[in-house]
Structure 1
Amino acid sequence: MDAAWPALDSATLHAWKLRSAGSVTRRANSILPLACPDGLSAALSAAVASGVHITLDAAPSPAWLELWWRVDGRGGPAERSIAERILLGAPAIHATAFDTSGRAVGTGRWALAAVAGVGAWGGIYAMAVHTDARRRGMAGNILGVLVAAGRDLGVRELWLMVTAANARAQQLNTRAGFTEAGRCHYRQAPLRVAAGFEARV
């Protein structure tokens, strides 16, 4: 997965890959174990004190970027610029769904990752649907197109990631034939508040 969503800066420390991308996306700003560690908590502490037209493009179009960032982006122009660099860091197919008026209403990304000793895998990313177009099977259509596009390239092994709280996406992925292979968790240091300021929730 690292090859398909590459961080802008990375380094290896012992059995860990350290990744940084200006705080844009958790995946590109995370620590990746290069082997399954014994005692994960201790190791982490040591490592870090329909009616829709779908087009396919090698690079994200302005319409694709605008919709994906509106649905799933976090930050302003600087963060979006970093996200664009991440998207262009691996060979990929970008699907954009347009409604009958020509408005972009859905996005998806199939990224190629050639893993030494394993072969070519495809990763599904950036699935986003405009709020006005949800509950209409849009995501299923986009996913189906991306899976088919990958097969046309001879890649049949796929992965995707979804949050545990996103039950609808999990149902969609199950219908598409995906099964759970593992789980990950982002650990974050407690928020530090500058002196003189009061933290409120």
Structure 2
Amino acid sequence: MHEPLLYITFFSGLVPFCFYVYFICKMGGLPNLQPAVPFLWLTLIGSLYEPIVTIGMGKDSMYWFRVYNAAEFLCLYYFFKHVIHKRYLLLFGSFLFFFTLNSLMVVILGIGQLRVESMYAPFIFIFVLTFSALWFRDTSKNDLLPAKFAKSNVVFICGFLLYYSGTLFFYLLSEVILVDSKSISYQDYWLVNIIATLILKIFLIGGVWSGRKI
């Protein structure tokens, strides 16, 4: 079950970006999808890198995950900063400062990847939850964004919320379960992340599809 589902997840990561390129070629510019473009690029690269380099070529994935962690935060930072129309700059700056500080600490201290994930997961969850709540509050109370921009953003944000809340305890407990207690196999435990990632990619597809009309 693990391997077919894994490759389905990899393939699904190609679809959002392919849809985006198709709609760009067919309709021209799609400014309502612009905030999500870096995340779509990252999803495409990750969906190609892991099966080709990590699995196919057998390369160590640790450095890839370190790069991915930083790129993932920056893509989410870009997304929320643009959908919120560059408001809450002090709050954005605070998150960026603490993320940079945390990243430097990881590099200097040489912290293991499972522990890095357990540090990163709550930080990114709080970031996504905070700015998702601010976006929903602003758009519902003040009607700051036109309706044509809101639909795709709702889909993307719901996907982010589901994924990062669903994987929060997965990453928090990974070191305890896999290393300390060894109560479950690595493959069985990683199945949780595969399913959550597949759900996120389905939401990305839905977000691109719903944002195809200007």
Q: What is the TM-score normalised by the length of structure 2?
A: 0.25
For CA contacts below 8 A with separation 6 or more, give which structure has more relative contact order: 2
What's the TM-score, normalizing by structure 1?
0.26
Larger fraction in helix:
2
